[in-house]
Chains A and B, each alone.
Chain A
Amino acid sequence: MLETVKLTKSFKDKKVVDEINLYLQTGESVGLLGPNGAGKSTTISMIASLIKPTSGDVKLNGKSTIQNPSDLRKMLGVVPQEIALYEELSAYENLKFFGKAYRVEKETLEVRIQEVLDMVGLKDRQKELIKTFSGGMKRRINIAAALLHNPKILILDEPTVGIDPQSRNHILETVRELNQTQGTTVLYTSHYMEEVEQLCNRVYIMDHGKIIATGSKEELLSILSSEDTIGVQLSKRSEAFTDKIKTLPDVLQVEQTSEGLRIMAKKNHHLLSSLVHAAEKEGIQIMNYKVEIPSLEDVFLHLTGKTLRD
């Protein structure tokens, strides 16, 4: 349905997005994961035809949208990262304004406004000014404004940044409902791994402007099939012990946690005995040892050497 071909954007000789190829199939929910500054928002802006790529193409059903984006725009609903609303107007007035801008017919606009307000759970607050809303409520109206014209493709750019858990759950539920019951194709960017795990069938992982991995959740997790992630609870912290663990054979990464260490290592039945041996030498007791079920966060750590929130 929608694909990018070697999509590139440079700002003053710096490549922010570097030859990205991604595609969305009708009815799919696709996640675009990456830390801050990975190039997610720039990619989205290019896909949405808001900025022109330095090179590459965005195709809708095989047709380039770079020169003539009107067909794409009709099908597209974009939820920007910022609150793109008039704070001085009420939720209803904002939705009416954007509905008129999207040329939703007068007869259906009123009905549609009530539908989207219902969808985001703010029907009873529609007469209140946006500036009186909490961050989470603003984000929900931000989503509602993108849904007025019944878009077939919905692009959400980090829609849950800085909001309360209740609003986050509501937003995730709304997106899931749109995708599963209305068949809306979703491109969801976030640096919250758990949201993408919950919502998306397929995930693209981005770092430094490049796609570094892609696939379904299971496919991505299979990257770690030959590895274990082990949580170790220690009686005390020791830099010397951590350094020693890093030098053990098959240990790939060691991360300090509040309780002890998180070790990523190749599957190795002797690792536990090596750990115990090293701990004894340093006078440290291993209080707990747990092989964790790998998550996309672990995949990201494995691929980039850093966590998503770094």
Chain B
Amino acid sequence: MYPVFYAQFLKDKRKPLLILTFIGLSILATLIFGNSAWQTNTTVAVFATGPNAEEIEQKWVKLLNKDNENTEYVISEEGEAREQVREGKRDIAILLMEQDYRLITASDMPNIQLIEQEVHKVFTEEAQLQAIAGSADTAELREEIDRYLEKPPLTVKIKSVNGGELTSHNMGTQLLFGFTLFIAMFTIGFKVNGINADKVSGVWNRLNLSPVSKTNMYTGHLLYSFFIGFFQMAAVFLIFEYVMNYEIGPLSLILTIAAVFTLSSVSLAMLVAGFTKTPEKFNMVYPSVIPIIPIISGVYVPPGVMDNPVFTFIADLFPMGYAVEAMMDAALFGADWSEIMLPVSLMLLIAVIYMGIGINLGERSRR
């Protein structure tokens, strides 16, 4: 096992660019997407049509922007707003009406659902107030409600399950975990593909004739893939924790989850290697399949957005969703060892099953 492991190490020592590039990519992707996509405000163009358009626009923009920190609604020309959506410069524009609204969008993206929820809430609330006031003028009623709520008869205080302050979801942290795990899967895959490369080049046969057992040949390759994948993830987490001062939670727990994820990713790569049999086919299939996993696992969107039952079923067959969930629980909600046992166990189960099938498939072609 040791010579096989060491030979792989020597190859990477001579050409470390791939690993360093992937570490850099993990950091870069987290910085770009983690800081911009979810932490800056979204601007939504709104407009009305007809003779009293200006009045409608003023009324609803004021209500839409009230107590709203994440989204800014700005009045825009109809033609310009539609053009921007058509050209993909904006995801959404809203046509405001007296008592109703229309969303103008080119595709059904996750953030559109969030905006729709916000707008729907404002229009529903206004409709309720108008029903209570019995007229379209709800300004007085609003003031009365605001005054009343300054001294409410009862207050609701929300606490976490542990009794502490409720922690809000941090998309930046989720993306940090997501991108790091995703890019590490590539490194792991390309290393596991060394098995296929050895089989095609004849090195595998040569080792087969040596006293090195087949188990040791596989162990050498897979252990090295595990080692390098885990090293990459650990390096990224440590850089974020100590150099960039991100709060990534208890390191021992996060690294344990990363280790189990690495193990199951090695197994997943072995499964693909077993199916593909040659390094060329692996290089074609693996990079095509892997980018889909974080998408269907809901890694790039807030929890709950990815609710398609087919996608969630497929996502459950891969370790990424479990790993990100466990890491987020540990980082944000202070989950302890017992609370991450379920996702960790599922990842281990994936590791055992995929490894078994992968090695079996790889060996079947050689009998």
User: Contact residues of A with B, CB < 8 Å?
Assistant: 48-52, 73-74, 76, 78, 80-86, 88-89, 93, 97-98, 100-103, 145-146
Contact = CB atoms under 8 A, between A and B. Distances in A.
B44 to A, nearest CB: 53
Contacts of B14: 88-89
Interface in B1-23: 2-4, 6-7, 10-11, 14-15
B209 A76 contact: yes
B209 A98 contact: no
Contacts of A49: 209
Nearest to A76: B209
Nearest to A148: B210
A102 B211 contact: yes
- Counting chain A CB atoms within 10 Å of each CB, the highest count among B6, B201, B203, B208 belongs to B203
A102 B209 CA distance: 9
Given A81-B202, A84-B203, A89-B14, 14 more contacts: A50-B205, A50-B209, A74-B211, A78-B205, A80-B202, A86-B203, A88-B10, A88-B15, A89-B7, A93-B10, A97-B3, A100-B3, A101-B207, A101-B210
Contacts of A88: 10-11, 14-15
B265 to A, nearest CB: 24
B275 to A, nearest CB: 20
A89 B10 contact: yes
A50 B208 contact: yes
Contact of A100 (B2, B202, B367): B2
A83 B201 contact: yes
Contacts of B366: 51
Interface string B137-151: 000000000000000
A73 B15 contact: no
B136 interface: no
Contact of A98 (B10, B15, B210): B210
Contacts of B15: 88
B209 A48 contact: yes
A82 B201 contact: yes
Given A52-B367, A89-B10, A103 B211 contact: yes
Interface in B333-367: 366-367
Nearest to A69: B209
B10 A102 contact: no
7 contacts: A50-B205, A80-B206, A82-B201, A84-B205, A89-B7, A93-B10, A103-B210
B28 interface: no
B174 to A, nearest CB: 37
Nearest to B211: A103
A73 B210 CA distance: 7
A103 B14 CA distance: 25
Nearest to B2: A100
B7 A84 contact: no
Nearest to A97: B7
Given A82-B201, A88-B14, A103-B211, A98 B206 contact: yes
Contacts of B7: 86, 89, 93, 97
Nearest to A52: B367
Contacts of A97: 3, 6-7
A80 B3 contact: no
B212 interface: yes
A70 to B, nearest CB: 8
Contacts of B3: 97, 100-101
Contacts of A51: 366-367
Contacts of B202: 80-84
Given A82-B201, A83-B201, A101 B367 contact: no
Given A93-B10, A101-B3, A101-B210, A85 B205 contact: no
Given A89-B7, A89-B10, A97-B3, A73 B209 contact: yes
B7 to A, nearest CB: 5
Interface in B178-230: 201-203, 205-212
Contacts of A84: 201-203, 205-206
Contacts of A80: 202, 205-206
A145 B206 contact: yes
Interface string B40-52: 0000000000000
A68 to B, nearest CB: 14
A89 B14 CA distance: 8
A103 to B, nearest CB: 5
